Structure formats: structure tokens, C-alpha cells
């Protein structure tokens, strides 16, 4: 059948526009990797266990039974055994994780905020850059153990000395990370456009510079969290951190070293907990770095 004039004159329908494939979000990319997914799940388990320690603990924190002192793991009612004073190791472990995570959160938050302020100031005010970075170099030259010893001498042994020591050790590291990320943002044209509109320095940093540095800050914070836990546990192991009867993983490992030949589980269990927590946060930090890297986005 021949086509009519109307058919020939009818407009040819345009091809349907094909929407570009939607890129997976950061969380989707993170969950796509098995190691990252396992690390994320374990991180949530650790955090929830620490937060809910008073409700998950099988016994009261101060309950002890000297008849069960140094009971081995697997004893009836004591799946992880008991310490030298007959306290349930499960309860001690939950409260120890709680205290260790609280110490790490306080140290990373305090050191991270101060370091970020120094990093933004160094990147934004070029005249102050050299002086600020030299101060950070001096701070980096001192081991955190020395900060802990000095602060313990001033304030006395306790969690305050550990938090301040690890926070001070975090400041120069965060300052360098933030400065490097901020310098890349400061080179963009929209920063000059914001300056030309008369926007204040603080507003430029808050609205334009800081949001574009969040990915670098978040990755470093996650990685630093595990390092702070390891450092804080080492200071507590040396007797500078939590004091009895407070449960903290490093202090628990220190208490158990006196019974290595009689009841090694008292020291091994908190040490394994420190190892597991640090490993999980390091794996999560590496996975976040890959997930937030624009070069690796598909």
C-alpha cells in the first residue's frame, strides 16, 4: 500500500532520550566490596555493643566472686572466664570497649577540630602558612608517649591525660590533611568569585572550602580512630590511663600480664579485642578512601 501525502508529511518521532546510568552512591560502592561490607557490619556491632554494654552485660560491673577467680573460658556461666578478682570477662570486655571507644571519640573530636582549624587557616591565609606548619612539624617530632608522660605528670594518671595526649598527637596530622585538601579547593575559580562578591573569609571557608574537604577529613578520621585506640591502649597499658576499677582494654591487658602463666586469657582477650577493633577501623578507612575517590567511581 502506497503512503499517503499526510503520512509523508507527518513528522518523524524523535528517538527517546536514553537517561545516563545512575552512578551508585558512596554507601552502595562501599557495600559492593565484601571486605568493606564485613568491616562496616563489624564496626556497627562494636559500636552497638559498647553503647548497650549496661544492658548486654550478663552481670553487674562491680560483681565479683573470688571462688571463680581466674576461671578459664568455657566455665559454666563464664564463656570467657573470669579475671583475678572473679569478675566476668564478658562484662569487663563490654565495658572496656565502651570506655576505649569513648576515649577515642573524645580524642579524635578534640584533635580533629583543632587540627582542621589550623589547616584551614594555613591554606586560607598564606602569610601564616609557614609559621603554622613549622609549629605542626615541631609537634610531629615529639612521640605521643612523651605527651602522655608530661600530661600524666601534670594532671595525674587517668583518662584525661590519655585523651589530651592522643588529641595533641592528632592535631598536626589533621592540620596537614586539611591544609592539602583546602589548597586544592582554594585554586578553584568559584573561590575567587566568592571573594569578588564580598563574602567574608569565615563564610567562604564554611560554605565552600570545608564541604569540599569533608571526604578527606572523614577518611582520615576513620583511619585515625584505630590509631588513637592503639595509642590510648598503649598509654593505659603503661599505667597512664584508666585506673582501677575502671575497665579499659589497655588497662585490662596490663592487669592480666601478671597472670600470663596461670590465666593467660585475662590478658589475651582484651589484647585480641584491641587488635580486632583497630583492624576493623583500618579496613573501613581504606574502603571509604576507595569509595570516595572520584578516580575509582564507575
For the domain that residue 221 is a member of, what is the CATH number? 1.10.3720.10
Q: Which residues span the domain enclosing 220?
A: 29-50+84-296
Q: Tell me what the mean pLDDT of segment 224-247 comes to.
A: 87
With CA atoms as reference, report the closest residue to 212 among 226, 238, 191: 191
Residue 290 lies in a domain: yes
Among 16-25, 81-90, 128-137, 211-220, the minimum mean pLDDT is found in 16-25
Residue 253 lies in a domain: yes
Residue 7 lies in a domain: no
For 49-84, the pLDDT digits (tens) are 999 999 999 988 888 888 888 888 988 888 998 988
Q: Name, in order, each residue with C-beta under 8 angstroms of 124's C-beta and a sequence gap of 6 or more.
A: 182, 186, 201, 204, 205, 209
CB 250 within 8 A of CB 274: yes
Q: Tell me what the mean pLDDT of segment 239-258 comes to.
A: 86
CA distance 81 to 89: 6
Residue 13's pLDDT is 52
Number of compact structural domains in the chain: 1
Q: What angle do CA 101, 104, 109 make, to 5 degrees?
A: 125
Residue 141 lies in a domain: yes
For 93-127, the pLDDT digits (tens) are 999 999 999 999 999 999 999 999 999 888 888 88
Question: Is residue 244 scored above 90 in pLDDT?
Answer: no
Mean pLDDT in the chain?
82
Question: Is residue 230 scored above 80 in pLDDT?
Answer: yes
Residue 79 lies in a domain: no
CB 281 within 8 A of CB 97: no
For 15-49, the pLDDT digits (tens) are 445 444 555 566 676 677 788 788 889 999 999 99
Residue 150 lies in a domain: yes
* pLDDT higher at 142 or 173: 173
* pLDDT higher at 295 or 242: 242
Question: Is residue 135 scored above 50 in pLDDT?
Answer: yes
Residue 186 lies in a domain: yes
Residue 99 lies in a domain: yes
Question: Is residue 199 scored above 80 in pLDDT?
Answer: no
Query: b/e for 142-155, b at 16 or more Cβ within 10 A?
Result: eebeebbbebbeee
Confidence (pTM) = 0.82
* pLDDT confidence tier of residue 1, bands split at 50, 70 and 90: very low
Amino acid at each position: 500500500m502506497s503512503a499517503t501525502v499526510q503520512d509523508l508529511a507527518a513528522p518523524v518521532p524523535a528517538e527517546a532520550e536514553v537517561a545516563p546510568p545512575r552512578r551508585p552512591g558512596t554507601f552502595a560502592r562501599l557495600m559492593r566490596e565484601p571486605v568493606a561490607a564485613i568491616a562496616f557490619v563489624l564496626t556497627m556491632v562494636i559500636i552497638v555493643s559498647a553503647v548497650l554494654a549496661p544492658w548486654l552485660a550478663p552481670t553487674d560491673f562491680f560483681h565479683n566472686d573470688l571462688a571463680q577467680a581466674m576461671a578459664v573460658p568455657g566455665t559454666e556461666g563464664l564463656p570467657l572466664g573470669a579475671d583475678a578478682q572473679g569478675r566476668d570477662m564478658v562484662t569487663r570486655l563490654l565495658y572496656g570497649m565502651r570506655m576505649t571507644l569513648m576515649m577515642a571519640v573524645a580524642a579524635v573530636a578534640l584533635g580533629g577540630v583543632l587540627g582542621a582549624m589550623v589547616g584551614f587557616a594555613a591554606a586560607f591565609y598564606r602569610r601564616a602558612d609557614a609559621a603554622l606548619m613549622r609549629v605542626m612539624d615541631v609537634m610531629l617530632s615529639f612521640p605521643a608517649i612523651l605527651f602522655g608522660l608530661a600530661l600524666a605528670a601534670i594532671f595525674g594518671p587517668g583518662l584525661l591525660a590519655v585523651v589530651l595526649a592522643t588529641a595533641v598527637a592528632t592535631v598536626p596530622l589533621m592540620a596537614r590533611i586539611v591544609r592539602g585538601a583546602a589548597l586544592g579547593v582554594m585554586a578553584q575559580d568559584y573561590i575567587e568569585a566568592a571573594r569578588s562578591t564580598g563574602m567574608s573569609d569565615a563564610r567562604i571557608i564554611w560554605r565552600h572550602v570545608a564541604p569540599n574537604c569533608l571526604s578527606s577529613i572523614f577518611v582520615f578520621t576513620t583511619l585515625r580512630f584505630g590509631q588513637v585506640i592503639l595509642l590510648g591502649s598503649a598509654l593505659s597499658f603503661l599505667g597512664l590511663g584508666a585506673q582501677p576499677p575502671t575497665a579499659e582494654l589497655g588497662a585490662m591487658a596490663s592487669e592480666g600480664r601478671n597472670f600470663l602463666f596461670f590465666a593467660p586469657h585475662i590478658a589475651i582477650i582484651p589484647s585480641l579485642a584491641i587488635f580486632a577493633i583497630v583492624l576493623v577501623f583500618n579496613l573501613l578507612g581504606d574502603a571509604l578512601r576507595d569509595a570516595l575517590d572520584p578516580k575509582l567511581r564507575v
